Amino acid sequence: MRGRRGDRMAINIQEHMAINVCPGPIRPIRQISDYFPRRGPGLEGGGGGFGEAPAHLAPLALAPPAALLGATTPEEGAEVDSYDSDDTTALGTLEFDLLYDQASCTLHCSILRAKGLKPMDFNGLADPYVKLHLLPGACKANKLKTKTQRNTLNPVWNEDLTYSGITVDDITHKVLRISVCDEDKLSHNEFIGEIRVPLRRLKPSQKKHFNICLERQVPLASPSSMSAALRGISCYLKELEQAEQGPGLLEERGRILLSLSYSSRRRGLLVGIVRCAHLAAMDVNGYSDPYVKTYLRPDVDKKSKHKTCVKKKTLNPEFNEEFFYDMELSTLATKTLEVTVWDYDIGKSNDFIGGVSLGPGARGEARRHWSDCLQQPDAALERWHALTSQLPPAAGALPSA
């Protein structure tokens, strides 16, 4: 029906909103896949009505995550060292190399580049850097860090970071954590993502190349910035992690390279303090003033104390000093060598950095080093040892220089 010009047409609300108010069954809403019917390779004509897929075609199966990333599925029991990924990864990818030199007990980490990092700043970019930790026992003493690349989501570092004093035992049970963070000068640095690589995947003197996607494993916040409930959860998770890593886990405070040799001609033990690496920082300037003390326990006469000179403002001191203990081999077998590292302070008590005990009651590499020294007289044996936060009982009363 057409009205005259100038007359207002009366349209009800149903017609205006184009709503079908006719009674009847509710029809299902079509899915988007109904508008794109699948056609088989041998199908002609379209088969079926509009929006209907052929009955003999199976639904499209989702590919596994590895296939979506462009990687081949490894065989059962094969070792996965790396995989490729596209540039649309949410957190980005990190490319790096690892090389373990068993002869020098060093782990070489070459941080090459990252691609497609998550934007963290207001300008849509980031100021990324990479830091390394060894787990378990992560602390400031074993943290290594690259330089910061400014205003980029595809940084190139090409930096070599080296861990000294990495023994075969460390390779079998330690994990390297590689974290990518965004540096912020006005507030706290922000975590982007991380990668964890078990060192047991490395073979001595063989470089391994990795190109892996970053993962969302955000570290726990500091207790001061959490509520009471979150602090309880944080403490529980830390205790659970320590329980999973094994009983008796101690915080590592660095590494020390010791040389032991029993001289059959001089009839005594020659102890060499070669060097330390990755010591814990005890001063406000981020360094320490370390020196080393040695004792041979039990020390009835209290004459077994030896002390090196103090190395100023360093976390990787080189001492190259030797001490001699005049003692028969049979008597030495019942003794324990205690080695402690201290931070020298003027006007107050010195700070304990870490220590290690070598003797029949020791464990792991410390016991093997002591045993090999007694079984191989006149042979100088150099071994790296981890310094732990456990203070030997007799050394607790000797904080002064």
Q: How far is it, in rounded angstroms, from Cα 114 to Cα 125? A: 13
Q: Give the residue among 180, 94, 194, 175 at the shortest CA–CA distance from 130.
A: 180
Distance between CA atoms of residues 399 and 393, nearest Å: 12
Cα distance between residue 387 and residue 353, in whole Å:
8
Looking at per-residue pLDDT, the higher value among 253 and 192 belongs to 192
Q: What is the pLDDT of residue 73?
A: 40
297 within some domain = yes
Average pLDDT value for residue range 214-240: 56
pLDDT at 89: 56
**CA-to-CA distance for 278 and 272, rounded, in angstroms?**
19
Lowest mean pLDDT across 126-135, 153-162, 213-222: 213-222
Please report, rounded to a whole number, the percentage of residues in the chain having pLDDT higher than 90. Answer: 46
Give the model's confidence band at 389: pLDDT under 50 very low, under 70 low, under 90 confident, else very high. confident
Asked if the model's pLDDT at residue 291 lies above 50, the reply is yes
Cα separation of 216 and 207, whole Å? Answer: 27
CA distance 220 to 235: 10
Tokens of 25: 């069954």
Q: Decide: 282 and 349 in contact? Cβ < 8 Å.
A: no
Quote the mean pLDDT of the chain: 77
Q: Is residue 174 a part of any domain in this protein?
A: yes
pLDDT in tens, 151-174: 999 999 999 999 998 988 889 889
Is 309 inside a domain boundary? yes
98 in a structural domain: yes
395 pLDDT higher than 60: no
Buried-state track 136-147, b at ≥16 Cβ within 10 A, e below 16: bbbbebbebebe
Q: Tell me the C-alpha to C-alpha distance, in Å, between residue 381 and each of 93, 269, 270, 338.
A: 43, 12, 10, 17
Same domain as 384, residue 260: yes
pTM of the entire structure?
0.62
The residue among 198 and 398 whose pLDDT is bigger is 198
Please report, for the domain that includes residue 319, its CATH number. Answer: 2.60.40.150
Q: Which residue has the higher pLDDT, 109 or 217?
A: 109
Residue 395 is which amino acid?
A
**What is the Rg, in whole angstroms, of the alpha carbon atoms belonging to the chain?**
33
CA distance 157 to 146: 7
* Number of domains into which the chain is organized: 2
* pLDDT at 232 (0 to 100): 54
- What single string gives the DSSP state of each residue in 22-44? --SPPPPPPPGGGGS----TT--
Of 310, 112, 349, 314, the closest CA to residue 207 belongs to: 112
Which of these ranges, 143-152, 260-269, 298-307, 330-339, has the smallest mean pLDDT?
Answer: 298-307
Range of the domain at 167: 92-214
* pLDDT over 70, % of the chain: 66
| Residues 270, 372 within the same domain | yes
- Determine the pLDDT at residue 44: 44
Q: Are residue 264 and residue 367 in the same domain, yes or no?
A: yes
In terms of domains, do 270 and 207 share one?
no
Considering the domain architecture, whether residues 196 and 262 belong to the same structural domain is answered as no
Rounded mean pLDDT, 43-72: 42
